[in-house]
Amino acid sequence: MDKWSFNLPLFSRLSEVLDITGTEIARRCGLRQQVLSRYTTNENVVSIQVLLNLCNSLRMPLYLFVAEDNNFIIPNRESATIPLDQWKPVSWNYEAVENTFGDGNGRINWKDVAVVMKASAQKPHERFSLKRRFKVTDFFATCNAFSLSPFLFLNDPNRGCATKTEERTAPSYAELAHRVDLLEHDIAELKAKFSELLRNQETFLRRMPVNIQDVHNSHIGINDRVDMAAEKQPGEK
């Protein structure tokens, strides 16, 4: 299963989540309403360029649109956007692109990226440089194929800086289910480790039989000899 994916359910419900019309969203983002509609209905795949513009125009954290293990979070209106005085613009890390892909020095060859994208050899570099339209599906497919975190390239200073409203927001069913799965996994691991400890203890006791009474008697004998040696002999001053 792919680890990273685009949170299309959230993108499709932008108008509902933000409680503003699609026309107003398009206006704020500098898009034609028809173009935005084709994105939200997934008739056309949204690009990284459009996503960055949308987040900065609406002050929406970029990390909300990145789903991990199909955990699609739909925030409420209060936590979907950040107040102007707290907002930090999101951006694209061009330097990370050049450090991650290329020839030599442990970098990922662009030809291999082209295979994942099913594109010609020169297109991946142009897409990652945002010189060409870069569909989010191609971006996440590349991240999954080479075990790369999307946040290596997506700069979101708002990530991990939850507002007070977000802290009070109850987790969604998907979040709770994911947490339960993690807890069950941890419990199973602990049970397995505990069982292994019991087996090791039994093996140790079988290989190292100990007679407590013998140890006790041996201890007394040593003390007696020490005490006798310490006693004065007849005639000693």
Residue 152 has pLDDT above 80, yes or no: yes
pLDDT at 153 over 80: yes
Judged by DSSP in three states, 24 sits in helix
pLDDT tens sequence across 210-236: 555 554 555 555 455 545 444 555 555
pLDDT score of 184: 65
- What is the band of 12 on the pLDDT scale with cuts at 50, 70, 90? very high
pTM, 2 dp: 0.67
Average pLDDT, the chain: 83
Q: Give residues with Cβ within 8 angstroms of 162, minimum separation 6.
A: 79
Beta pairing partners, 68: 4, 71
Q: Which residues contact 27 (CB under 8 A, 6 or more apart)?
A: none
How many Cα atoms occupy the beta-carbon half-sphere of 98 within 13 Å? Answer: 4
pLDDT at 191: 77
Q: Partners of 135 in the beta sheet?
A: 47
Please indicate whether residue 30 or residue 182 has the higher confidence score (pLDDT): 30
- Cα-atom radius of gyration of the chain, to the nearest Å? 32
